[in-house]
Amino acid sequence: MAVAETVANLASNSTGMIAFSAALAIAGSAIAAAWAEKAIGSAAIGAMAEKEELFGKGLILTVIPETIVIFGFAIAFFILGLAK
């Protein structure tokens, strides 16, 4: 009941919807980035165990998906701008 009420509350109030949308943008992109980094990170560690010099390259590959959450942040930021 409490959840339904909260959602109804949010929906009836445009600032709430805006905040909710921003949170959704960040949450979705953060999960996506984390998911991608998880797979790449473990592969990179595996490669490093074989050949330590791969640290630099492993680091680069691991952080590439970070851009996803940065985009999510940018979108959330612009959505929040609508509230003003």
Partner 1 sequence: MLKEMSKLRIIGPKSVLAPVLDRLYDMKILHVVEKGVQGLEQGKPFASADQLSAALVKARAAAAQLGIPEASALSKKPNHRMLAEIDALAEKLQILDRRTKAADEQAASASRQLEKLDALHRLKIEPRQLRPYSSLEWFIGTVSNSALLKEQLEKITSRFLLHAEKDGRKDTIALFADRAHAMEIKALLVKQDFASLDAGEVAELTLPDAKKALTQAHAAKKSVAEERESLKKSYAFSLPVAIQSLHEELAKAEAPLRFQETEQLFLIHGFVPKAELPSAMEALKKASKDRLHFEVLDIDHHDIVPVQLQNPKAVKSFEFFLNLYTLPKYREIDPTWFLFITFPILYGFMLGDMGYGAVTLLLFFLLKKKMPQFSGFFNILMFSSIATMFFGAIFGEYFGFELYHPLVNRNPEHDLNPLVIAAVFAGIVHINAGLVTGFINEMRSHGIKTAIFAKGGWFVLEAGVVVLGLSMAGIALPGAAGKLAAMAIILVAAVMLYKGEGIIGVVEIPALFSNILSYLRLMAIGLSSVGLALVINDLSSQLFASGGAMIAVAILILAVGHVLNIAIGIMGSFLHALRLHYVELFSKFYKGGGITFNPFGAK
The letter for the amino acid at 35 is: W
Q: Which stretch binds partner 1 (CB under 8 A): 7-15, 16-24, 35-43, 64-72?
A: 64-72
Smallest separation (angstroms) from partner 1 to the CB of 18: 15
> Binding pattern to partner 1, positions 34-63, x when CB under 8 A?
---------------------xxx-xx--x
Contact between residue 83 and residue 18 where contact means Cβ atoms under 8 Å apart: yes
Does 73 engage in binding with partner 1 (CB under 8 A)? yes
Burial of residue 24 (number of CB atoms within 10 Å: 0-12, 13-18, 19+): middle
Tell me which H or E stretch contains 61: helix 55-63
Give the binding site for partner 1 (CB under 8 A). 55-57, 59-60, 63-64, 66-67, 70-71, 73-74, 77
